[in-house]
């Protein structure tokens, strides 16, 4: 008897940039919360209407900067079903079919698949406009990197409030004088290994 042993893996990549100047602020891989994402995938496959990607969350609690400018990074939170960002300070709905998404043309999710490949990408884009978040500083020249909207972590949150991914990066300040766009690609890939062993 031949048993088809298929393994699914997920990996993510985050690009944070200014969409007008094209200045790239962050460009790196992220960490996956495998327990939460496996539950989300099972819920999606069984049409349970929970666990879908709903929002992007931003925080400022994942790094420490000493007086010489050396940045220390905390580990990503990817274990335990109740994992969250270290200090979430902002969130934005990215599900373009959610009625609470006020700008679905610039904050949306797309599924991208090329026939014949064994992977599918979930592409999530989120734009923090000039006026977002409220009460931000006027200019991105903060002397302290500990401000509420000096982001150093973000993730994707499911509709049932579970953290699916987490990425930690050097601090990036959001201020009134700049746009920040986040392009988040989450790749779901199957690795197939045919075996006749039970």
**In 7-158, which residue ranges form alpha helices assigned H by DSSP?**
34-45
For the stretch 33-54, pLDDT in tens is: 999 999 999 998 898 988 899 9
For the stretch 116-164, pLDDT in tens is: 998 999 999 999 999 999 999 998 887 767 789 999 999 999 999 999 9
Q: Is the overall model pTM greater than 0.85, yes or no?
A: yes
Q: What radius of gyration do the chain's Cα atoms show? A: 18
CA count, 13 A, side-chain hemisphere, 29: 5
Domain spans of the chain, in order of start: 13-192
Q: How far apart are CA 69 and CA 67, in angstroms?
A: 5
What is the distance of C-alpha 101 from the center of its chain?
A: 17
Contacts of 80 (CB under 8 A, 6+ apart): 35
């Amino acid at each position: 008897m031949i048993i088809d042993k298929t393994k699914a893996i997920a990996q993510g990549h985050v690009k944070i940039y200014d969409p007008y100047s094209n200045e790239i602020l962050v460009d790196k891989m992220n960490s996956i919360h495998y327990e939460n994402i496996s539950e989300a995938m099972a819920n999606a496959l069984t049409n349970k209407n929970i666990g879908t990607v709903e929002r992007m969350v931003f925080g400022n609690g994942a790094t420490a900067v000493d007086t010489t400018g050396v940045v220390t990074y905390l580990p990503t939170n990817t274990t335990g079903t109740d994992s969250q960002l270290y200090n979430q300070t902002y969130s934005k709905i990215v599900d373009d079919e959610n009625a609470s998404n006020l700008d679905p043309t610039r904050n949306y999710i797309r599924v991208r698949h090329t026939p014949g490949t064994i992977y599918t990408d979930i592409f999530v884009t989120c734009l923090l406009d000039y006026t977002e978040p409220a009460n931000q500083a006027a200019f991105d020249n903060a002397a302290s990197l500990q401000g509420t909207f000096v982001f150093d972590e973000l993730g994707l949150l499911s509709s049932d409030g579970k953290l699916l991914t987490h990425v930690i990066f050097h601090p990036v300040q959001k201020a009134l004088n700049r746009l920040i766009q986040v392009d988040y690609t989450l790749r779901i890939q199957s690795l197939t290994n045919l075996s006749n062993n039970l």
